[in-house]
Amino acid sequence: MNNTAVGARATEAVDFFVEAVEQIPSASWDLPSNLEGWSIGDLVAHSTGTTAKIVTLVEGGQVQQGPADPNDWRSENPVAQLRELAGRLHDALPSADLDALRQALMTPIVGLSIHTWDVYRSQDRPAELPEALLAFCEQLAESVPEETLRRPGGFGPAQPVPEGASATARLMAYFGRPVA
């Protein structure tokens, strides 16, 4: 994968997330998400932190290790916050050293893609990852050893996949998401 592709996947993942958040009805923010113990608002706040991590890396800044704490990323206007982050990403990409950032960006891009699917799933809305983003996520899934992927704090066990499931559904099931 070339460096331009990594930048394109980062942009695609962020845009996919912004689009998902724009479609959340205001009455749904406090409803439970498909992630146990998290509301849809918690999921969006956590994923906004992941978006900020991608942007900060591309801008050349330092990021904290580990998952983003939803309490650090709550906003009165999450769509405006995400649009601002998307704009910063767009501005920073032309001068970013994507060769040096390729490895650091892979996990947050995949994580944001999975959580965008979670946002849709939490509202019983179908979502398919864009083809290039799906291939990017599949590449990471194939490259991470099973014991690393399933370690505590990582992904749960792979879930059953119904016959005829889409490639996105199969990937989400691999990452421990129920898709049936």
pLDDT in tens, 125-150: 999 999 999 999 999 999 999 899 89
**R_g (Cα) of the chain, nearest Å:** 16
Alpha helices, DSSP H, located in 93-166: 98-122, 131-143, 146-149
Q: What is the DSSP letter of 164?
A: T
CA-to-CA distance for 116 and 125, rounded, in angstroms?
11
**For residue 145, how many other CB atoms are within 10 A of its CB?**
8
Map tokens 């592709």 to a residue: 5
- For the stretch 8-20, pLDDT in tens is 999 999 999 999 9
Query: Could you please report the per-residue DSSP string of 6-50?
Result: HHHHHHHHHHHHHHHHHT--GGGTTSB-SSTT-BHHHHHHHHHHH
Write down all domains in the chain, each with its CATH number in brackets: 3-128 (1.20.120.450)
For all residues of the chain together, what is the average pLDDT?
94
Task: Please give the model's pTM, rounded to 2 decimal places.
Answer: 0.94
